[in-house]
Amino acid sequence: MAILIDPAVWPAHGTTFAHLVSDESLAELHAFADAAGLDRRAFDLDHYDVPAERREALIALGAHPVPAKELIWRLRASGLRIPARDRTPALLDTLRRSWSRVLPAFPGEHDGPARALGEELLQRWSEAHRAYHDLRHLRDVLAALERLRAPDPVPVSVLLGAWFHDAIYDGVAGSDEERSAELAATRLTGAGAPQPLIDETTRLVLLTRSHDPAPTDYRGQLICDADLAVLGRDAAGYARYLSDIRTEYAHVPEPAFVDGRIAVVHRLLALDPIYRTHVARDLWEDRARRNLKRELELLGT
């Protein structure tokens, strides 16, 4: 269990950089980086990019120098290594292709504004303070929708609901969804979307506050199930999710975070069932309940 740093041999922006990682947890890494005065904008999913001139100072503070190959090996062994598909260039490429699927819903004369809107949303989902509600989450929700609907296409309103559901994210439950819905109404209007599509998109965004759609609301069921698909990950994937959530709430003291998380888990377990579509229940229901109950045990309840 250590903070590790490799040689500063990675060129960028007219200098060379080292990588700073933890082989224990992102919480440990962020705590060390904060104490060292590193900017959170230097964090890239599983490491901090550190300019060469700061390397020795970080070693003096306790970072252990290791060869690059050893750093990567130990990061992988810890389970914290982020694969290439989850890194920003690959995510942006995937998400731009996904956004192109909603463009036919806009009138031809609004093609330019609609494309610009897609880029704005990508910037919002790329904000530095996000650790879970980021580009990966957007990609995963869209992928879950495709899986739930296969082989049929996902309704455009549901796709737009996914794109907007955490477009504004400050970690304030309820308020984030309301502001995201307002953003959807404003931006979709500006891009020339039909009013019925705007109304349905904002309705779906607001549903992600409660994840409790009506039995006859199939589109609402789709977006809620896709948003909660993370709960049905395997044990390693669920652990990563919990780590990312804790990173997003790093500013919250541990006792308050634990209390808040216990309330969230109890609310999710109270959903009966968690997933409303038959496909999602078959895929994720049992494992999601096991994950949530195990989390309560880890939280001491």
Nearest CA to 288 among 245, 243, 244, 225? 225
The residue type at 111? D
pLDDT of residue 40: 83
- Count CB atoms within 10 A of the CB of residue 146: 16
Q: For each successive 10 residues of the chain (301 residues), what is the average pLDDT?
A: 92 92 91 93 89 96 96 91 85 96 88 94 94 96 97 97 97 90 97 96 97 97 98 92 89 93 96 97 98 95 80
> What is the amino acid identity at position 157?
S
Q: Tokens for 34, please give them.
A: 């904060």
Half-sphere exposure of 242 (CA within 13 A, CB side): 23
- Does residue 253 have a cis bond before it (omega within 30 degrees)? no
The one-letter amino acid code at 98 reads S
User: Hunting for tokens 């999601």 — which residue is that?
Assistant: 288
222 close to 153: Cβ distance less than 8 angstroms: no
CB-based contacts of 43: which residues, under 8 Å, 6+ apart?
A: 30, 33, 128
What is the chain's percent helix, strand, coil content, to nearest 5? Answer: 65, 5, 30
pLDDT the model gives residue 41: 82
The predicted structure's pLDDT at residue 236: 85
Pick the CATH number of 85-298 from 1.10.150.110, 1.10.1300.10, 2.60.15.10, 3.40.50.880: 1.10.1300.10
At 84 the pLDDT is 80
Question: How many residues does this entry show for the chain?
Answer: 301
Pairwise CA distance, residues 226 & 140, whole Å: 8
Q: Please report which helix (H) or strand (E) contains residue 102, including its range.
A: none
Question: What's the pLDDT score for residue 1?
Answer: 63
- Provide the 3-class DSSP secondary structure of residue 97: helix
**Domain residue spans of the chain:** 3-82, 85-298
pLDDT on residue 187: 97
Close Cβ partners of 227 (under 8 Å, ≥ 6 residues apart) = 141, 162, 165, 208, 211
CA distance 27 to 165: 27
Closest among 232, 88, 271 to 147, alpha carbons compared: 232
**Helix crossing, 88-99 with 111-125: angle to 10°?**
150
| Cα angle 49-241-155, degrees, rounded to a multiple of 5 | 105
Is the pTM higher than 0.85?
Answer: no
Structure tokens at 225: 């199930």
At 245, list the tokens. Answer: 């959530």
